[in-house]
Amino acid sequence: MKHELVDGLELPRIGFGTWGIGGTSSPDRASDKKSLAALRSALDLGYRHFDTAEMYAAGHAEELLGQAIREAAVQREQVFLTSKALPEHLRYADLLRACERSLHRLRVDYLDLYLIHWPNPDIPLADSFRALNQLVEEGRVRRIGVSNFDLDLLEEARQLAATPIFTNQAPFSLRDRSYAQNGVLQYCQDNGILLTAYTPFEAGGLQIHANLASIARTHAATPHQIALAWLLAQPRVITIPMSHDPGHQQENLAAADIELSLAEMTQLN
Q: Give the closest residue to 97 by CA, choosing from 149, 59, 66, 49.
A: 59
Q: Give the closest residue to 54 by CA, choosing from 104, 129, 121.
A: 104
Spatial neighbors of 209 by CB under 8 A, at least 6 apart, are: none
* Per-residue pLDDT reduced to its tens digit, 178-214: 999 999 999 999 999 999 999 999 877 788 889 999 9
CA distance 160 to 166: 13
Q: Which domain holds residue 153?
A: 3-204+233-243
In a domain, 250, yes or no: no
Q: Evaluate whether 226 touches 254 at the Cβ level (below 8 Å).
A: no
In a domain, 220, yes or no: no
- The tally of domains found in the chain comes to 1
Active-site residues, by number, are 56
Q: Which CATH number is 238's domain given?
A: 3.20.20.100
pLDDT surpasses 90 at 73: no
* Per-residue pLDDT reduced to its tens digit, 77-127: 999 999 999 999 999 999 999 999 999 999 999 999 999 999 999 999 999
In a domain, 159, yes or no: yes
In a domain, 22, yes or no: yes
pLDDT of amino acid 203: 73
